């Protein structure tokens, strides 16, 4: 990837919000992020996938909160005061992502994103678009559309 043709390569700088889930580093493009909020209690939804924590009220907007830890294949989060919710807009839907902490907002070059290492579990593979390698850590860029709860088929 890093050849001599660096000059001709298009530089595609994007800002990303880095956050941690189970001590691992992940990121989401800042263009999706509306705001970051402390944990507030949610209303449990019936017949919802386990990773959908419930619905929260954001100034009158009713939106679902996804437990990213559970969604990404780690353990279930027992949310408390130290947890945060990243409010993100994906297409025309607004959702909250429950994460451990937001660590940084940085600018990266999208074209330098690397493929997800093969070692990851299949679930992680599906939800990660690629990896940014920064200094001493690997930050995985999540695929926001994939982690959303998929429309459950309703029988007629």
Residues binding other proteins (CB under 8 A):
41-48, 52, 54-57, 59-64, 93-95, 149, 151-152, 154-156
Which residue, 128 or 147, has its beta carbon nearer to other proteins? 147
Q: Quote the least distance from Cβ 85 to other proteins, whole Å.
A: 14
Which residue, 44 or 125, has its beta carbon nearer to other proteins? 44
Q: Is 91 left (phi over 0), alpha (psi -120 to 50) or beta?
A: left
Which residue, 86 or 108, has its beta carbon nearer to other proteins? 86
Which residue, 73 or 149, has its beta carbon nearer to other proteins? 149
> What's phi and psi for 127, nearest 5 deg?
-95, -5
Where b means 16+ CB within 10 Å and e means fewer, 33-58 reads: beebeebeebeeeeeeeebbbeebeb
Distance, in Å, from the CA atom of 38 to the CA atom of 86, rounded to the nearest integer, reads 9
Q: Quote the least distance from Cβ 61 to other proteins, whole Å.
A: 7
Q: Quote the least distance from Cβ 86 to other proteins, whole Å.
A: 14
- Tokens in use for 16? 């990303």
Distance, in Å, from the CA atom of 122 to the CA atom of 73, rounded to the nearest integer, reads 10
Q: Quote the least distance from Cβ 145 to other proteins, whole Å.
A: 14
């Amino acid at each position: 990837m890093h050849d001599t043709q660096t000059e001709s390569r298009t530089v595609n700088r994007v800002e990303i919000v880095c956050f941690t889930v189970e001590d691992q580093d992940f990121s989401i493009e800042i263009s999706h992020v509306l705001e970051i909020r402390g944990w507030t209690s949610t209303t449990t939804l019936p017949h919802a996938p386990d990773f959908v924590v419930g619905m929260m009220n954001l100034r009158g907007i009713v939106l679902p909160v996804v437990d990213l830890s559970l969604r990404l294949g780690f353990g279930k989060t027992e949310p408390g005061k130290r947890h945060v919710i990243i409010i993100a807009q994906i297409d025309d839907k607004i959702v909250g992502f429950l994460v451990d902490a937001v660590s940084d907002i940085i600018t990266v070059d999208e074209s330098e994103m690397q493929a997800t290492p093969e070692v990851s579990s299949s679930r992680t593979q599906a939800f990660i678009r690629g990896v940014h390698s920064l200094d001493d850590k690997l930050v995985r860029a999540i695929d926001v559309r994939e982690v959303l709860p998929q429309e459950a088929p309703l029988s007629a």
